[in-house]
Amino acid sequence: MEDMKIKSVLVGILPVIAFVIIWESIAQLNLVPKYIFPSFSAVMIEFYHLAVSGVLLDNLLSSLFRVLAGFLLGSAAGIVVGIGMGSKESVNKSFHPIFSLLYPIPVLGWAPLLMVWIGINELLPVALIFLCSFFPVLYNTITGIKGVDREVIKAARTLGASDGKILTTVVLPLAIPNIFTGLRLEAGMAWRVVIAAEMVAIPTGIGALMIRSESLLRMDVIIVCLMVLSVMCLAFERFFQFVERRITTGWR
Amino acid sequence: MPTIEVRNIRNYVFSNLNMKVLDKELLVVLGPNGAGKTTLLNIIAGLVDYEGTILFDGIPVDKAPTNDRQIGYLFQNLALFPHLDVASNVGYSLKVRGKKKEEIAQEVDELLKLTKIEHLKRRYPKNLSGGEKQRVALARALATSPKVLLLDEPFNSLDSGMCNCLRREIRQIQREMGTTTVFVTHNLTDAEEMGDRIVVLNEGKIQQVTSKMFKDATDNDNRSQRFQDCLHCAIDCYCKRKEGDYESADSPACRM
């Protein structure tokens, strides 16, 4: 059993190690100037400098705040509206056409409009992440609620549950896997959006650090930022996966 | 426990259905698929729209929502809550009615004992066998202390041994509790063994009512065979009509 675990970890880690070795070797060959293609070791040294100086943490915290604010607000709104649309056909019929028109618009397509309406300030990335989180969570919540077996709802009704009780004790718990699918996917997407917004409009955050580094030809700093971004996306997705498993363990 | 009266019921299945379920009796509604058996139960439970009147002890309940009708309903597919363990499934009705935790725990334990599933208390439905699920669904339906128990083909997915066992147990529990019960099935053995009276339903119409008195009046040795022949004939004629074989369907035997 222990051997199997070690093997499965090795299977996952070996390609990463191979990738790093190949990267380091190519960089050491000096075929391309080091400022264009820095080695893995140079990137790690820069990571250390950025971490110790606090530059990385400051920018990361700025981005994190925006992601959390936009994501929490957008997800909460998506879940609330999704519950309304999923459980009441009249609400669904009213809102479905307008949301169907707005959903296909790429989130960054809103950026020029919001720059004028909101201004270039902290609210801009929060608003963009709100939009990015709202629609997918909304549609996943609706799908989850509509997917609940009608017989189970009938059973709850025959057992004396009111509509409100059925929603809180049967429908929402059974819709959780779908709601969490939306949350998990959008947690990663929120990071991508914040980086884009910071690159074009906001002077702080990981995206802003990347765009400044680009003008100074600091590829090592850009790669450090990309690594941090990758880890944050993964951490957010895994967090929701973990919470979902904790909630649904046993019955799924 | 109430007498149930079904008066002039009309909807997408029934054109004018009238029938009565007596106090404390177990009425079997027997018929082929599509006869309207489940719809009848859903009407009594208030789960589908209908015109006409349903009376419990002479009082119309048409305006009472399902959650106020004090019924226990054992669904054909059981409809257990997959996210709740056995104890929570059984105690669900008590919880939504706002009972205290200690009371719920005590009542759930009693019901689990009654249905012989105390050992499954913490299991989730996905980890139960067909027969175990059936018992959980029955315990859950009984937890409401129902005035009326509705059973929708509860033995469909079970092997014959398990069916025999559950038939006896459900009959015994129903007698002990004296709950007025409507049991729908397409299985003749279920009907014969369980019912105080049997109603044969075809295409939304009552074709035949067989009472316990009829069964008791017949010779003991021949009772089962004669009874089954009679029911087979009713269903056979119905099938022939459906297949368009009107000549056979209008034979003297069928007319009789």
By residue range, what is the domain housing residue A225?
59-248
| CA-closest candidate to residue B45, choices B150, B136, B132 | B150
- Residues in chain B with CB shorter than 8 Å from the CB of A156 are 81, 92, 96
Interval A90-121: pLDDT, tens:
999 999 999 999 999 999 899 999 999 999 88
Is residue A148 within 8 A of residue A32, CB to CB? The reply is no
Confidence of residue B247 (pLDDT cuts 50, 70, 90): low
Q: Complex ipTM above 0.90?
A: no
Determine how β-strand B197-202 pairs with β-strand B205-211: antiparallel
Q: Is B27 exposed, middle or buried (0-12, 13-18, 19+ CB in 10 A)?
A: buried
Q: Tell me the average pLDDT of chain B.
A: 83
Interval B119-168: pLDDT, tens:
999 999 999 998 899 899 999 999 988 989 999 988 876 777 777 778 88
**At a CB cut-off of 8 Å and minimum separation 6, what does B194 contact?**
B26, B28, B167, B170, B171, B183, B185
Query: What are the residue ranges in chain A where pLDDT is below 50?
Result: none
How far apart are the C-alpha atoms of A195 and A162, rounded to whole Å?
46
Strand-pair partners of B19: B6
Whether A157 sits inside 8 A of B47 (CB atoms) is yes
Residues 126-185 of B with CB under 8 A from A: 126, 140-141, 143-144
Is residue B5 within 8 A of residue B182, CB to CB? The reply is no
Tokens 């997918």 found at: A136
Whether B96 sits inside 8 A of A169 (CB atoms) is yes
Question: Of A41-45, A181-185, B201-205, B240-244, where does mean pLDDT reach its minimum?
Answer: B240-244
How much of chain A is helix, strand and coil, in % rounded to 5? Answer: 85, 0, 15
Q: Closest CB to B83: pick one of A151, A158, A251.
A: A251
Confidence of residue B228 (pLDDT cuts 50, 70, 90): low
| CATH assignment of the domain containing A233 | 1.10.3720.10
Whether B81 sits inside 8 A of A250 (CB atoms) is no
SS3 A96: helix
- Residue A228 domain-assigned (yes or no): yes
Please tell me the distance in Å from A141's CA to the nearest CA on chain B: 17
Interval B16-41: pLDDT, tens:
899 999 999 999 999 888 889 999 99
A149 to chain B: closest CA residue: B79
- Residue A16 domain-assigned (yes or no): no
- Residues in chain B with CB shorter than 8 Å from the CB of A252 are 126
Please tell me the distance in Å from A59's CA to the nearest CA on chain B: 42
- Residue A54 domain-assigned (yes or no): no
**At a CB cut-off of 8 Å and minimum separation 6, what does A155 contact?**
B73, B75, B79, B80, B81, B140
- Residue A24 domain-assigned (yes or no): no
- Residues in chain A with CB shorter than 8 Å from the CB of B38 are none
- Residues in chain A with CB shorter than 8 Å from the CB of B125 are 251
B124 vs A: CB within 8 A: yes
How far apart are the C-alpha atoms of B100 and B83, rounded to whole Å?
21
Determine how β-strand B148-152 pairs with β-strand B71-74: parallel
SS3 A51: helix
Whether A151 sits inside 8 A of B81 (CB atoms) is no
SS3 A187: helix
Interval B107-118: pLDDT, tens:
999 999 988 899
- Residue A203 domain-assigned (yes or no): yes
Please give the tally of structural domains in chain A. Answer: 1
- Residue A101 domain-assigned (yes or no): yes
Is residue A146 within 8 A of residue A169, CB to CB? The reply is no
pLDDT(B213) > 70: no
B49 vs A: CB within 8 A: no
- Residue A3 domain-assigned (yes or no): no
- Residue A87 domain-assigned (yes or no): yes
